[in-house]
Structure 1
């Protein structure tokens, strides 16, 4: 299985990894996240303004200690609502390492992820983020990461949409995956999901 783009080797795991993502309102609506591992330790958090003023079109993914790992920024103008990802805290003139855009195929609900330093590497994001049911797939249609509703282990109750699971396949960079979650959330917040079909893959239990 192809591992994919590596933003930070610290978050590339040898075994399948299950993270819990908490969507918060600490900054602006849609922009705050804290990500925990299975032991309840903070793995990632999101800063929407950071050391310098940020606009609504830029988000920063940090580690638990506040170190900037990845910046995602909306490209303007953009026909297909394109976002770009930069290693660390983006600086003027820095080149992005990946881009995300809506699929231009009529009737298709999804997004295309291009790895810019490797033109042959591409990912597809399909599903309904509003329902917390998405897949990130490589060019071979292998699922590399999945977003799904969180179920409380003690009560077997499905939690609210502000808490969801992010499952990573072995070798797929968690920082890259979480950067894509930020972009999906922003596009969904711009009324993307309501124009898509409720499901784009068969309903199954993951």
Structure 2
């Protein structure tokens, strides 16, 4: 079991979450995530300028309880983010930190998860095209194990691919769904919905790698 937020989000079977980017007042204001039974699991809401600044995101459960606070460090050309348990408090230590390894070209996103001395996590693919795979790997060997995946959602009745505002987050058994969802929020802040070139290549995040390790 890989528990970062709460063991109740580490399920014994593969979990399919339908993630929907919502627009309350402005495009891309928030996210909601539903399980395969249509039950709301996670949400994040931003009510535009003048409300909660976009450099601080709170991932909530269905009832509105704060699960993780994701805070952007400023100034930071590398887009450094820190994840805190619940509502962030003064002098609270982060659970994990993330930052881009480079501010230009194909860059990696390094995530340091405190308490993990051996494991690393990588995300490979393109968030912009909603096609990423999360891998767990070990520093002791070269083995890699997929733990989650972001992919486009297909309407089961029409078999048509839905727009990028609705996509799937597939989480493997025993991996923390709340932690996986928090990484989706961070990836969206880092890469958003930048245009894909005419040849289908995403110039910004093709080959994006997310690594998670202990400091």
1:177 and 1:8 map into 2 onto residues whose CA distance is 12
State the TM-score, normalizing by the size of structure 1: 0.84
Q: What is the DSSP-based 3-state SS (H/G/I as helix, E as strand, rest coil) of the residue aligned with 1:131?
A: coil
Q: Is 1:178 the equivalent of 2:181? A: yes
The residue that corresponds to 2:122 in the other structure is 124
The residue that corresponds to 1:30 in the other structure is 28
* Segments ≥4 residues shifted beyond 6 Å: none
Contact 1:110 1:125 in 2 (8 A): no
Contact 1:109 1:197 in 2 (8 A): yes
Q: Is 1:196 the equivalent of 2:204? A: yes
Structure 2 residue runs without a partner (length 5+): 138-142, 197-201, 210-215
The residue that corresponds to 1:154 in the other structure is 157
The residue that corresponds to 1:86 in the other structure is 84
2:193 and 2:35 map into 1 onto residues whose CA distance is 29
Deviates more, 1:10-19 or 1:186-195: 186-195
Q: How does 1:1-206 map to 2 (within 5 A)?
A: 3-26=1-24, 28-48=26-46, 54-104=52-102, 108-139=106-137, 140-189=143-192, 195-196=203-204, 198=206
Q: CA deviation at 1:79?
A: 4.2
Structure 1 residue runs without a partner (length 5+): 202-206
Q: Summarize the Cα distance change of 1:190–1:198 in structure 2 as closer, same or farther, 3 Å threshold.
A: closer
1:58 and 1:105 map into 2 onto residues whose CA distance is 21
Q: Summarize the Cα distance change of 1:200–1:33 in structure 2 as closer, same or farther, 3 Å threshold.
A: closer
Root mean square deviation, CA, Å: 2.7
Q: What is the DSSP-based 3-state SS (H/G/I as helix, E as strand, rest coil) of the residue aligned with 2:38?
A: coil
Q: Summarize the Cα distance change of 1:200–1:72 in structure 2 as closer, same or farther, 3 Å threshold.
A: closer
